Amino acid sequence: MTTSKRQWLRVLVVLVLLTATVPWGAGRLMSGMIGLLPGWVWYALILNVVFATGTCLLYEKWWKDESVEKDCVDVDDSLRREPDQ
Partner 1 sequence: MNSRLLPAAIQAGNGIWLFFVIYCAFLLGIGWLGRRARTAEGSLSDFYLSARSMSLWVLLPTLYATQYSGNTLVGFAAKAYRDGFTLLVCVTFMMGVVAMYLLYAPRLFALSRRHDFITTADYVHWRFGNRWLTTLVSISGIVAMANFIISNLKAIGVMTEAATAGQTPAWVGICFFAVIILIYETMGGLRSVAWTDVIQGLVLFAGCIVIFIAVILQAGGVGSMIQQIREAAPQFWDPPSLPQQIEWFSTLLIISVGIALYPHAVQRIYAARSSQALKKAFQVMVYLPLFTTLLMLSVGWIGRTRFPFLDASASESITMDLLAAIAVEVPAIQWVVFLFLAAVFSAIMSTIDSALLSISSMITQDLYRPVRPDLPEKNLTTFGKYSSFAVMAAAVLFSIFINKSIYKIIEIKLELLAQIAPAVLMGLYWRNLRAAPILWGLVIGLAVSLFFVLGSMFLPDGLIPRKPLGIHAGLLGLIINLVLVLLIQILGRNRGATNRSGLSTEE
In the bound complex, what is the minimum distance in angstroms from residue 45's beta carbon to partner 1? 7
Q: What are the start-end ranges of the H helices in 1-85?
A: 3-33, 39-62, 65-79
User: How far are the Cα atoms of 16, 53, 61, 80 from residue 68, in angstroms, in the given order?
Assistant: 25, 22, 12, 18
Could you tell me if 46 and 34 are in contact, meaning their C-beta atoms sit under 8 angstroms apart? no
Q: Considering only residues 9 through 68, tell me which ones interact with partner 1, judged by CB under 8 A.
A: 36-38, 40-41, 44-45, 47-49, 51-52, 55-56, 58-60, 62-63, 65, 68
4 belongs to the binding site for partner 1 (CB under 8 A): no
Which residues form the interface with partner 1 (CB under 8 A)? 36-38, 40-41, 44-45, 47-49, 51-52, 55-56, 58-60, 62-63, 65, 68-69, 71-72, 75-76, 78-85
